[in-house]
Amino acid sequence: MRYSALRVLKEGLTGNKGWKPAWRDPEPQKNYDFIIVGGGGHGLATAYYLAKTFGQSKIAVLEKGWIGGGNVGRNTTIIRSNYMLPENQPFYEFSMQLWEGLEQEFNYNAMVSQRGILNLFHSDNQRDAFIRRGNAMIMSGADAVLLDQDGVRGMYPFLDFDNARFPIKGGLVQPRGGTVRHDAVAWGYARGADRNGVDILQNCEVTGFQISDGVCTGVETSRGPIGAKKVAVCVAGSSSRVMAKADMRLPIESHVLQAFVSEGLKPVLSGVVTFGAGHFYVSQSDKGGLVFGGDIDGYNSYAQRGNLPVVEDVCEGGMALMPMIGRARLLRMWGGIMDMSLDGSPFIDKTHIGGLYFNGGWCYGGFKATPASGYCYAHLLATGEPHEVATSFRLDRFLNGHMIDEKGQGAQANLH
Ligand SMILES: Cc1cc2nc3c(=O)[nH]c(=O)nc-3n(C[C@H](O)[C@H](O)[C@H](O)COP(=O)(O)OP(=O)(O)OC[C@H]3O[C@@H](n4cnc5c(N)ncnc54)[C@H](O)[C@@H]3O)c2cc1C
């Protein structure tokens, strides 16, 4: 079924009886050409591009819970391509370009809203670093605009400019950055993949890998064994646990990241704003809630809920940036598990086991990467070669010293 304004009108006039499920609920087959483990944004996007763009068939996505129940439905919805390093920036800009045509391509309203993202700076050194970043962005085809204090004041006059402990000196804007409705991305890719023949198997947990003579030939699941020519793991916060079933140890730590939503307010924030003197970022949803977050909780965990010290830290950041936020009531908060790689950059790679592939290590930033990650993973699976914008996301980079330390912070998960 194709969605259109005409279809909405017709269904509205005929009692909404013609809508069909957005994707099928098939029984697992015995064998597939490709098994994607993990029905998050990245897994579903991989299946979609594998079928649609790379013309492959016999594909299944195996999801232990339900579509959209992982981080793809838990993040704070921000998209941007404001990276600096040449290994990262072209990849994230490619992702941004895919976001720009996505809704038309998969015929689903994902509420892609390029409302702009503003990164504030609070010192001369920080301004110099942002100028450098802005130039790197422009050189890769992205957009970047440097604002002085008056420029920021023109956009958001209510920020605490002068009296704060960290005076705002200006900001770097990416006008094409913005937000996308997170769970709609999962549903849109799921529907698009299903329309291209992909089997989406929910409540199907992968419990082991069938590996013989160094080659992976399938998986064990809670719904029985399933054979495959290629198995592509894509399980975000569960990366270490799942790859441990193939006896692999990853350069990844799992941490909780929390998100917060205030009660609905009248429109106050047109875009996304990030505080540069702490970790706090905020935008306003279409329903009016302020959506904000900050640092990961400071220890490793698989619990999808957060702890009070980080709530306090995030709220302090919010108060330092826009004191009026103290008058808003918190409506809800939740946590998701981040797969923090130790240089802050992701992996899209083959493993040393034949037929077994790995995609993960997205840290805080995997939502914005969803389209490019899916596209590049599908490219690797279909052609055996990495896509040109994802050649550096290798699993062996910690062995050979080719780390991609975007922030220059060293191997410490909570600093990326
Ligand atoms: C609070 C929060 C805020 C964030 N904010 C942003 C942001 O603003 N911008 C941004 O770019 N990124 C953000 N992120 C990061 C982003 O959400 C993640 O990097 C990204 O969603 C991870 O990829 P995914 O969508 O495929 O993950 P998921 O949706 O988590 O998908 C992985 C799936 O694998 C499944 N799975 C796990 N184990 C198994 C198994 N054994 N068998 C089968 N299935 C399995 C899980 O159930 C899950 O559905 C945020 C994350 C959080 C938690």
Complete domains list, the chain, with CATH: 29-77+182-250+343-415 (3.50.50.60), 113-177+253-340 (3.30.9.10)
Residue 80 CB less than 6 A away from ligand 1: no
Answer with the residue of higher pLDDT: 162 or 215: 215
Question: What would the pLDDT profile of 82-102 be if each residue is shown by its tens digit?
Answer: 999 999 999 999 999 999 999
Question: What would the pLDDT profile of 149-179 be if each residue is shown by its tens digit?
Answer: 999 999 999 999 987 789 999 999 999 999 9
**Average pLDDT of the residues in 363-381:** 97
Both tokens of residue 338? 């981040």
CA distance 407 to 391: 20
Q: How confident is the model at residue 119 (pLDDT cuts 50, 70, 90)?
A: very high
Q: According to the model, what pLDDT value does residue 410 have?
A: 83
Residue 259 CB less than 6 A away from ligand 1: yes
Q: How confident is the model at residue 281 (pLDDT cuts 50, 70, 90)?
A: very high
**Average pLDDT of the residues in 290-312:** 91
Q: According to the model, what pLDDT value does residue 163 have?
A: 72
Residue 179 C-alpha to ligand 1 middle, in angstroms? Answer: 16
Residue 339 C-alpha to ligand 1 middle, in angstroms? Answer: 9
Residue 372 C-alpha to ligand 1 middle, in angstroms? Answer: 15
Ligand 1 atom at shortest distance from the alpha carbon of 337: 53
**Average pLDDT of the residues in 379-400:** 97
Q: Are strands 199-201 and 59-62 parallel, antiparallel or unpaired?
A: parallel
Q: Are 104 and 154 in contact (CB under 8 A)?
A: no
Q: According to the model, what pLDDT value does residue 5 have?
A: 94
Residue 206 CB less than 6 A away from ligand 1: yes
Cα separations (Å) of 149 from 82, 298, 318, 383? 20, 33, 19, 49
Residues 6+ away with beta carbon under 8 Å from 116: 173, 174, 175, 176, 177, 178, 270, 271, 272
> Any idea how long the chain is?
416
Q: Which residue has the tokens 């504030």?
A: 120
Residue 105 CB less than 6 A away from ligand 1: no
Residue 293 CB less than 6 A away from ligand 1: yes
CA distance 184 to 52: 19
Percent residues over pLDDT 90 in the chain: 93
Q: In sequence order, what are the beta bridge partners of 336?
A: 257
3-state secondary structure of 195: helix
Q: Which residue has the tokens 């992976």?
A: 216
Residue 76 CB less than 6 A away from ligand 1: yes
Q: According to the model, what pLDDT value does residue 162 have?
A: 85
Residue 330 C-alpha to ligand 1 middle, in angstroms? Answer: 23
Residue 312 C-alpha to ligand 1 middle, in angstroms? Answer: 24
